[in-house]
A and B are shown apart, each in its own frame.
Chain A
Amino acid sequence: MNFTLNGVEVTGGKQEAIAPGGFPSRSNFLRRMWEGVSIVFASKTAVIGLAIVLFWVSVAVFAPFLTPYTPLEQDWKAPNQGPSSTHILGTDELGRDLWSRLIYGARVVLVIMPISESLWVPGGTALWGVFTALLIGMTLGLVSGYYGGWLDEIVMRLLDAIMAVPIILLYLIIMAALGASAMNVVIAITIVGTPGIARLVRSLTLDIRTREYIKAAETRGESPWYAMFVEILPNARGPIIVDAMLRVGYAIFAMGTLGFLGLGLPPPSPDWGSMVAKGREFILAGSPWAALWPSVAIASLVVGLNLLADGLREESMRYQ
């Protein structure tokens, strides 16, 4: 989170004081962090957004300590119940505790990515999707912006073709082909996100490429890769970081949508989208809770992220 705030603060373009080693000195770094935090608190919308996001991040991190049930534990005697003292938010159609499914669902989105039944890696599924899309998109954008010519033409036309395909169709085909798993959700988010990032990075690269310090690096005899990743990329980070923040929101949105269509995480795992899809069948039968809570969860998280990003953007624009 600090890293992101720091990055947005940098977008303001106020501080370019960088120590000779290429890293910001320590006190400088702390000051910039403080400035980043103060930007958040200067905007009411950003504070509200931050509070919502922090709420979900903390329940996701501490999920195992916040509930006596596991998300898979079934209570056959109490299916489809409303909120009560034993189950704070009620139970779903198999008697699983909704609160624990909800917070373990947040965990899958924000904190861990399950690879197989017993194996998981840190970093939420949505975050991994954005990260890999950034990695590939940045590389493609840098390379085609820096080299130009036929390489640029080919890469950009291919990305144009991908962008022309309706996003929902891409998701459907990718997920129907790959099957439902967290890894495949990451792949789908990556394929859909890459073209946009590549375009952004390319346009930034086209601009920065003409600067003198790039000429200087080239004259020094640095390799193209050095020029791209050490000279151009750090100078383009501001817009990229803001874009990435919004993309986290899209990725959570996409994860929910995929889950809802039955293309997200495979069934027993707690996934907000698929919880809604299952719960939907019982709404008209008189038990709305299983569909209501995950809808509230995903809506609040995405709205929180956007409030935060909006507030930050407005405040940093005011500084400019």
Chain B
Amino acid sequence: MVKFIVRRFLLLLLTMVLVSVAVFLITESSPGNVARNVLGSFVTPEQEASFLAQMGLDKPVYTRYLYWLLGSDWHASRKVGLSLKRIKTREGFEEWWALREDGALIRWKLQGEDLIAVVRLFEDTISEYFNNERWQPDEHGVSSFWGVDTKNHVVKWEKDSDLKVWTFVMGTGWMETTGGPIEYIPLKKGFIRGDPGLSLRTGRPVAKSLFIRLRNSLVLAGIAFIIVMPLALFLGMIAGLKEGTLRDRVLSVGGMMFSVTPEFATGIFLILIVAVWLGLVPGATVFGEKAPWERPDMLILPVLTLTLIELGYVLRITRASMVEVMRSPYIRTAFLKGLPYWRIVLKHAVPNALIAPITVIMLHVNWLMGGIVIVEVVFGYPGLGKYLLDSALHKDINALEAGAMVLVTVAVGTQLIADIIYTFLNPRIRYT
């Protein structure tokens, strides 16, 4: 058992590594880039280059993969020569600072020709002073300096550089400044240390938005799961009790029809019938800043769509399993012994008939995730699936990678849980 779990865990790690590398390579090799997707097609090549450099996207792909996986602070700190520290301000922003030789938090900015050090003593006390002695002249007579800037990069400034920098500020537009750094390393702790970086699309930390999106998706999937499971197992058993009866035909054909119809079609039908024609509940989900459970009426249609899709699938599996059990010799023996009908069904048939569906349902989570993505898009539900789709369409690599890792973990994790449940439900495996 332990050996088995370890094996599965290793498979999970292997899959995650393979997927993360594949996502990087595929995104890399495909045409278009995040700058054009985010900024629109009217950016000048200089603005595009500046944007890419600030995001650290001008670096070779293996460097970016390493930064994404292990973080960039250890590498950047060697360039600066001071150790780096991430702090959280009172407003909840994350800031990177260097630790000055005496232990104070320090960052730098460039004003004209002068290097200015910004020192943070306490929460609100910030002092600035000229720090030109840190310029390091090289053999060509150009003075340069590696330091932490005020936007969480480690950057290399050069004295008398007239490099133009364009910064895109949401709502304001482009800001043009001169004398910008010639190299950027965006600071992050790396995926392994729990920091997937900033979303290139929104500029916000991926971990934060991902958490909220994941929570919303789990609410949706959880409610659907709670409704589907008892209902589908019950209906499936009813259908499987007597094979070939009208009740069986109606339930299994109906279940099949619901489970093979694409989610978006089911969603459209439900919107048209329930929201437009009957006018009972809203046909789209708009939460704003609210959590999904604060507007339960908007949850009804997405949950119903998911329920219908999953109901048919689980129902059919349960039915097949029940039919097989009802045909087996030990059930016949029980009948011949003259035991009461419901006692045979409930005590002899049902426990054995449940083994297959429960494990298959867990394996089905892989499909369910696809369903959730579609349902989220149909209803505009702010969940993980929609986040992933938007990230993929914009080539927002940090967000895409993080979302992909979450999905892979859920998929492989549920397979592991399915196997464990299976061994507990089936004593024939447990005791050997």
Binding site for B on A (CB under 8 A): 45, 160-161, 164-169, 171-179, 249, 253, 256-257, 260-262, 273, 276-277, 280, 283-284, 288, 291-292, 295-296, 298-299, 302-303, 306-307, 310
Contacts and interface: CB of A to CB of B under 8 A. Distances in A.
Given A166-B366, A168-B373, A172-B389, A276 B284 contact: no
Of A166, A168, A277, A306, chain B has the most CB atoms within 10 Å of the CB of: A166
Majority DSSP secondary structure for residues of B touching A: helix
Given A166-B407, A173-B22, A291-B272, 12 more contacts: A165-B15, A165-B408, A166-B370, A167-B369, A173-B27, A179-B31, A260-B374, A280-B378, A296-B265, A303-B260, A307-B253, A310-B256
Contacts of A249: 260
A150 B358 CA distance: 33
A45 B388 contact: no
Nearest to A167: B370
Contacts of B253: 45, 307, 310
A172 B11 contact: no
A280 B385 CA distance: 18
A283 B374 CA distance: 17
9 contacts: A45-B253, A165-B19, A167-B369, A169-B404, A171-B370, A257-B262, A276-B264, A276-B268, A295-B268
B283 A284 contact: yes
Given A161-B15, A169-B404, A261-B389, A299 B30 contact: no
Given A166-B411, A299-B265, A172 B388 contact: yes
A175 B367 CA distance: 18
Nearest to B368: A166
A61 to B, nearest CB: 23
B14 interface: yes
Interface in B242-275: 253, 256-257, 260-266, 268-269, 271-272, 275
B334 to A, nearest CB: 26
Given A260-B374, A288-B272, A306-B260, A276 B408 contact: no
B29 A166 contact: no
Contacts of A299: 261-262, 265-266, 269
A161 B21 CA distance: 13
Given A166-B369, A262-B393, A292-B268, A173 B23 contact: yes
Interface in B411-428: 411-412, 415
A253 B284 CA distance: 23
Contacts of A303: 256-257, 260-261
A109 B257 CA distance: 20
Of A161, A178, A256, chain B has the most CB atoms within 10 Å of the CB of: A161
B395 interface: yes
B126 interface: no
A261 B377 contact: yes
Contacts of B265: 256, 276, 295-296, 298-299
B26 interface: yes
Nearest to B379: A280
Interface of B: 11-12, 14-15, 18-19, 22-23, 26-27, 29-31, 253, 256-257, 260-266, 268-269, 271-272, 275-276, 283-284, 366-367, 369-370, 373-374, 377-378, 385, 388-389, 392-393, 395, 400, 404, 407-408, 410-412, 415
Contact of B392 (A164, A176, A284, A288): A176
Of A160, A260, A307, chain B has the most CB atoms within 10 Å of the CB of: A260
A277 B262 CA distance: 13
B370 A160 contact: no
B404 A173 contact: yes
A160 B11 CA distance: 9
Nearest to A175: B392
A43 B388 CA distance: 44
A168 B377 contact: no
A264 to B, nearest CB: 12
B417 to A, nearest CB: 14
Of B27, B265, B407, chain A has the most CB atoms within 10 Å of the CB of: B265
Contacts of B407: 165-166, 168-169
Given A177-B29, A283-B276, A306-B260, A168 B370 contact: yes
A257 B264 contact: yes
B428 to A, nearest CB: 22
A164 B411 contact: yes
Contacts of A165: 15, 19, 407-408, 411
B392 A173 contact: yes
A273 B264 CA distance: 8
Given A168-B370, A260-B377, A161 B264 contact: no
Contacts of A306: 256-257, 260
A160 B19 CA distance: 12
B410 to A, nearest CB: 8
B276 A288 contact: yes
A288 B253 CA distance: 28
Given A164-B11, A177-B29, A283-B268, A172 B392 contact: yes
Contacts of B276: 283-284, 288
A177 B27 contact: yes
A295 B408 CA distance: 30
A176 B393 contact: yes
Contact of B261 (A260, A276, A292, A302): A302
Nearest 5 A-B pairs (CB), nearest first? Answer: A168-B370, A295-B265, A177-B30, A176-B392, A177-B26
B156 to A, nearest CB: 32
B263 to A, nearest CB: 8
Nearest to A163: B366
A160 B283 CA distance: 39
B266 to A, nearest CB: 8
B408 A164 contact: yes
A250 to B, nearest CB: 9
Contacts of B385: 168
Nearest to B410: A166
B262 A280 contact: no
Contacts of B366: 166-167
A299 B260 CA distance: 8
A302 B264 CA distance: 13
B38 to A, nearest CB: 15
A277 B378 CA distance: 8
A176 B260 contact: no
Contacts of B263: 257
A190 B359 CA distance: 27
Contacts of B256: 303, 306-307, 310
